Amino acid sequence: MSNGRQETELGDVSLSEAETELERLLADPRFHATDRAKRIFRYVAEKCFEGETVGVKAYAIALDVLNRPERFDTNSDPIVRIEVSRLRNALANYYEAYGSELALIVSLPVGRYLAVFTRSIAVSAQGKHSVTEVTGEPLQLETKPSTVPVHRTWQIWLPYGVAATALLLMGSAWVYVVRSPDLTDRPSVSLSMSSADDQHLTEADETRRYLSAALSQFRTLDLSASTFASARAAHPAYEIEMKYYADDDNRTVWWQVVDRRNSDILKSGLEQVQTNGRSDISVRDELVSALAKRFAASRGVISNLEAHGDASGRSLGNACVLRGEIALAEGGRKGIAAAQPCLERTLVRQPNNADAMAILSRTLVASTGGDLASTDFTYAATLANRAVSVDSGSDRAYVALMMVQFYAGKTELAIAAGNRALAINPNNPDVLAKLAGVLYSAGFEQAAVSLAEDASKNIDAMPCDAAIVLALDAYGRGDWQNASLLAEQINCSDLVVRAIRVAALAEMNSPEAGRSLADLTEATPAYLTSVRTSMEHHRYPPGVIAELEGGLAKAGRAGERVMSSRD
């Protein structure tokens, strides 16, 4: 063969077979690995074809594949480990779904960057499930001739290979049959609304119809007819029962959510809108918006019930999408990265699940903080664009497209995608909040604040992005107290949020500033550099960054004075 390769066999896997399998796998659209991960995979495999048996060095991968400079330090930059971990997950998901169809399996042993090609055996578990496992010890491709005859090696390892295969197959069959994750759908929801008096029956019916239209714009639930029986009792389905009340000063809707499987009342509440001489249309629209947010937002009643109903935390499909959205809302990078394997497995089972594509795209960007060097924007953009293509009416898909475009530096395209998401679903607080964050970073502060205020209405917990916009706006206006109050209310682990808390307290000369700074320093020793880096990745205006750094510097000086006074 060319390139110094030799047609050498080890066991029953030949070099030519392995090369063919590598090309087939990389070209298979069902193999959901990032372009960067695929390049690493090809590089490692080709090194093995050329005779590598110990393992390719992370430093070599960083330089040759990821274009890192020669001063690259694998200890301080984990990009290779991150990408190989994603590659292993993609391989595991692929073979879990399609392994029974394949003759060869390729794996990367944990702890080594080495491609291992092995034969697979498909067996039937009680005639119902096919399980694929490797046969005995992994066989690594080598070009060096062995000093032991091939048939002799086979005789030595055969008993161990048979025993290992039997154990692997038994264990895998149990895992597949007993622990195979459930695939969950969006919950079906039906609406009913009565009126407390006959005089307002028409108003009540009109409100219900507009609410149905508003709920249909969300991708967190599916609407069904109120006469729907128990045909879908295999997964949760809800009835939202409402009663409409009207007087001279307000319009009120009492509601309760009922589990249609057992008629249990799961949640109830009231939504009220003051009339104050306003038009009927204005009052109705505000009431419908409040109800839609209450029921269908990603942190609304239905989604919370669904998320808490997934006791195992292993379900794929809609439950996995909800866990991804929760991780994104909480903001911790580890939690966001932990949500990715579930989303990837969902796409193996449901390749056209637009919700999973959109949320996976967002997690790929958010898990790296939008860092240009370590984020695979090509794959994230591919997922977001495909989500839009599969479901052009999905606000989730356009939000994903907005975020990947924004962090890639394409601000105008990001704003266009955000405006499209807003046009599709003007009642989604997540859309309002995310677009507010993008607009604020782009310098459209007034529009951003308006959207952030809208995102904060009629919901239990203000979206993190909306609260950050409002807190930074208050800080920039010198309203330190309101900035501090807003920052304390933000329930996410964003570094910028912690910086606002410290800086606002310092500007108020609060004695709590020192304690808050100590907490920030303990969590992030190089906080000044980290805050600037984080804000630059989010493309905040330089003036906003400088103002916050000024507050942090003031907090630092105050802390030094306290320490010197103690000495």
Residue ranges of domains in the chain? 9-179, 184-306
Q: What is the radius of gyration, based on Cα positions, of the chain?
A: 28
pLDDT, one tens digit per residue, over 308-326 is 776 667 788 899 999 999 8
pLDDT, one tens digit per residue, over 390-432 is 999 999 999 999 999 999 989 999 999 999 999 999 999 999 9
Amino acid 9: pLDDT: 38
Which of 29-33, 88-92, 148-152 shows the lowest mean pLDDT across its residues? 148-152
Amino acid 296: pLDDT: 92
Amino acid 173: pLDDT: 43
How far is residue 240's CA from residue 351's CA, in Å, rounded to a whole number?
A: 31
pLDDT, one tens digit per residue, over 456-502 is 887 877 888 999 999 999 998 999 899 888 888 877 767 888 888 88
- What is the longest distance spanned by two Cα atoms in the chain? 96
Polymer length of the chain: 567
pLDDT, one tens digit per residue, over 337-377 is 888 999 999 998 899 999 999 999 999 999 888 777 888 88
pLDDT, one tens digit per residue, over 48-69 is 888 888 888 888 888 888 888 8
Amino acid 121: pLDDT: 57
Nearest to 168, CA basis, from 118, 101, 235: 118
Task: Name residue 443's amino acid.
Answer: G
Which of 201-205, 249-253, 457-461, 537-541 shows the lowest mean pLDDT across its residues? 457-461
Q: Is the per-residue pLDDT at 156 higher than 60?
A: no
* Residue 559's pLDDT band (cuts 50, 70, 90): low
Q: Is the per-residue pLDDT at 120 higher than 60?
A: yes
Dihedral of the alpha carbons of 95, 97, 103, 108, in degrees to the nearest 10: 0
Q: Is the per-residue pLDDT at 304 higher than 50?
A: yes
Q: Is the per-residue pLDDT at 104 higher than 50?
A: yes
Q: Is the per-residue pLDDT at 287 higher than 90?
A: yes
How far is residue 303's CA from residue 316's CA, in Å, rounded to a whole number?
A: 15
Which of residues 146 and 494 earns the better pLDDT score? Answer: 494
- Most confident option among 5-9, 153-157, 161-165, 497-501: 497-501
Q: Is the per-residue pLDDT at 235 higher than 50?
A: no
**Domain range 184-306, CATH class:** alpha beta
Q: Is the per-residue pLDDT at 158 higher than 90?
A: no
Q: Is the per-residue pLDDT at 3 higher than 90?
A: no
* Average pLDDT over every residue of 141-152: 39
* Average pLDDT over every residue of 513-518: 80
How far is residue 317's CA from residue 306's CA, in Å, rounded to a whole number?
A: 12
* DSSP H or E stretch at residue 257: strand 250-259
Nearest to 467, CA basis, from 453, 479, 450, 477: 453
* Residue 566's pLDDT band (cuts 50, 70, 90): very low
Query: Please, are residues 431 and 395 in contact by the beta-carbon 8 Å criterion?
Result: yes
Amino acid 179: pLDDT: 53
